[in-house]
Structure 1
């Protein structure tokens, strides 16, 4: 009897100790409450999770996030047509007759298909996806979670963030809520939702592996496009969320969501030696996605705010080289003369520590924070100058140096559509060529009306545009703009080549 009483007393004491330890350890506040509930839809059962006390480290239950996000993720099928020249087998007579492969076979149209994913961001049919999913597509088919098919139109694209917006005609669609990607933490559980390998509505789970990743994938595309067209674009913003949730080809444009089923990113790229998932995936943060999609829907193009500095991410090595008093932050190596930072008082040699109170220690995050602002927005910037902190209120500018919104029709000027790079000539060059005036064609880009409509090559000396003589790049630009202003459909460009004595004139469509 005494033995039984002793056992009971020990059990009671242990229970009391456990309750006390539970209470003072904080675990009581972090308990996850899962309530079973029946949805108002007769055919849908779901678990409603109380996230009020859910710690970031708890895996919780993935079914809720999956049930919320999957219906708002669509399958996008892109169809494009490419001209392909038929190949001819080589012949032993080719050298004798001087045949050229270009003489054989006219280019034939070949249909190409690809697929990706998209996220419904509004009930009336606006869908966010990747630019590379829709780029070059002649037709976009959108298949929703309930197997309905729609033809979508492109609302706008932004290659600098690889985000695009497309739209289908429908109402009362399920859509995702944007989370604040600034609150995302490494180690947080996430779900990737998309259509890999044409497997519709696939959900994978993982954790946030890193934030603010720059893998230079958008920078490579930027350089390729510039080499082809010569058109200046907004500089790429790469501040990816890295996750180990399995992502494969076809997931591009799909959703990365937290356990609340909120959108924290758009799945965009994978790091892989063979093109398939190898453990690393990257998503555009929802902060960038929200800003870009809003601009594309509202303005037709992205409104990017510029600070006007050349930033360098600090570490303990270059901090010594720059002779600054701090080893973390963004070192201002140069400021644009009429840029926002210079006008506000920020100087080369300053170290940017905070933007709007948010600590900045990496260049990708710096570009992200500034990039999601618009021209005319004011930001508070804290800098360290010779060991002392100073605050500056800076009004951001557009890429042309103004404070106003750049309209869609102004974003790509006629001069950029020409696809040509022009440079001034020295008096010595003019004398050698025997011309009194002129500007030199430095480069002709593939994607432009000069390459399409004329045979003008690099080295051509343009002496006049229409009836107007030109003797500087500024005068050439003004002559082209005047022709557009007068609503001329085309213009005559005349000039000479260095090694040819006669004049050449080319008709150019504006």
Structure 2
């Protein structure tokens, strides 16, 4: 009769069998069809971003501005165009990296301030939305279209209290961006910023709506800003903030930063504010507001 194995040997063989099975399970190739199913949602989101960037970029423009002045004034060179120095001191503190550089003169001896920003086409006949601080005091406005055309623009109207400006180029059948209802925007919703940071035209960044109704941030008097963590940098000012449907929900206007660059806090004017004053800017070139007083 065969002698029974010792109990210790039985346990050892069982443990060895379990170890071999585990190694075989790890070494077995996973099904090639498993990965696509797990990444389908991410691929759909990626496609949404790609399609949005491709379609919306056609109506986004890069803006260069210049101004000749006889007095001794340095070029404006802040990250959003023509902001004055005290604006940057409020946002970045004294001694910030966006203080005005040494002055430079044209051959005639006059100062030649310069700046740049972004904008987007709101009507097929050439009306463009941008920021007041980008074009409000400019003598010459040059618009660079997505199809590489370069055209001179005229200032139609500008409102420093809301930081909104309308310019126009002489063109027809231009692509435009649809306007959303910014009152329906939700915190946490995906948004996309398109503009020309540091002169790099049609750059696309994405993030979420961090907050709504941000007031008292020292930018404009009549706007409660959309706060976003989409990367907004010098040159994005005036460009569109869009939802995933490709509709404009805001106008990128400023950042909060201690370094002068992106730190995850950007501000955009709600597009409903643009709708509110657009017609008046087109017709009158400015906004007339009533005042309550005592005679």
TM-score (normalizing by structure 2): 0.70
- SS at the partner of 2:281? helix
Shift in Å at residue 155 of structure 1? Answer: 0.4
Matched, 1:210 2:211: yes
Report Cα offsets for 1:37-96 as digits up to 9, x if no partner. Answer: xxxxxxxxxxxx9xxxxxxxx78721122122111110000011233559xxxxxxxxxx
Q: CA deviation at 1:216?
A: 2.8
Partners of 1:126 and 1:112 in 2: how far apart?
25
Match of residue 239 from structure 2: 254
Q: Secondary structure at the match of 1:238?
A: coil
Q: Output the CA distance in 1 between the equivalents of 2:187 and 2:202.
A: 26
What is the aligned counterpart of 1:81 among 55, 68, 92? 68
Quick one: distance in 1 between partners of 2:200 and 2:211? 27
Change over 3 Å in CA distance of 1:400–1:214 after alignment to 2 = closer
Structure 2, unmatched stretches of 5+, are: 1-39, 74-107
Q: d(CA) in 1 for partners of 2:194 and 2:120?
A: 9
Correspondences of 1:419-430 after superposition (within 5 Å): none
- The 2-side partners of 1:73 and 1:204 are apart by 14
Deviation per CA, 1:417-469: give whole Å up to 9, x if none: xxxxxxxxxxxxxxxxxxxxxxxxxxxxxxxxxxxxxxxxxxxxxxxxxxxxx
Cα offsets for 1:249-286 (capped at 9, x unmatched): 10000000001110000000000012211111000001
Aligned length: 220
Q: How far has the Cα of 1:302 moved from its partner?
A: 2.1
* Residue in structure 1 matching 2:263, options 258, 278, 289: 278
Matches within 5 A, 1:12-411: 61-85=48-72, 108-218=109-219, 236-304=221-289, 398-399=290-291
CA 1:256–1:85 in 2, change beyond 3 Å: closer, same or farther? closer
Q: Classify 1:159/1:85 alpha carbon distance in 2 versus 1 (closer, same or farther; 3 Å).
A: closer
Q: Is the 8 A contact 1:126 1:168 kept in 2?
A: yes
Q: How far apart are the structure 2 equivalents of 1:278 and 1:249?
A: 12
Q: Tell me, in whole angstroms, the C-alpha distance in 2 between the residues paired with 1:85 and 1:156.
A: 27
Q: Aligned partners of 1:166 and 1:251: how far apart in 2?
A: 17
Q: 1:279 to 1:122 in 2, by over 3 A?
A: same
Bigger Rg, structure 1 or 2 = 1
Are the structure 2 counterparts of residues 59 and 284 from structure 1 closer, same or farther at C-alpha, using a change threshold of 3 Å?
Answer: farther
Distance 2:183 2:142 in 1: 33
Structure 2: how far apart are the matches of 1:273 and 1:290?
A: 33
Distance 1:275 1:83, change over 3 A: farther
Q: Give the SS at the match of 2:142.
A: strand
Q: Deviations over 1:304-350 (max 9, x none)?
A: 4xxxxxxxxxxxxxxxxxxxxxxxxxxxxxxxxxxxxxxxxxxxxxx
CA contact (8 A) 1:215 1:238 kept: no
| Matched-pair contact (CA < 8 Å) for 1:186–1:210 | yes
**1:238 Cα offset (Å):** 2.7
Q: Distance in 2 between matches of 1:294 and 1:211?
A: 25
* Greater RCO, 1 or 2 (C-alpha within 8 Å, sep 6+): 2
- In the alignment, is the contact (CA less than 8 A) between 1:64 and 1:259 conserved in 2? no
Equivalent residues of 2:136, 2:165 under 8 A apart: no
Q: Show the counterpart of 1:99.
A: none
Q: Secondary structure at the match of 1:273?
A: coil
**TM-superposed deviation, 1:180:** 0.2
Question: Contact between 1:208 and 1:242, CA under 8 Å: does it hold in 2?
Answer: yes
Q: 1:197 is paired with a residue of what secondary structure?
A: helix
Assess if the C-alpha contact under 8 Å between 2:250 and 2:271 holds in 1: yes
Corresponding residue SS for 1:269:
strand
Secondary structure in structure 1 of the residue aligned to 2:268: strand
CA distance in 1, matches of 2:52, 2:145: 18
Structure number having the greater strand percentage: 1
1:218 aligned counterpart, secondary structure: coil
Q: Once the two structures are superposed, what CA deviation does each residue of 1:156-211 show, in whole Å capped at 9, x if it has no partner?
A: 10101000000000000011111000000001001000000000111101000000
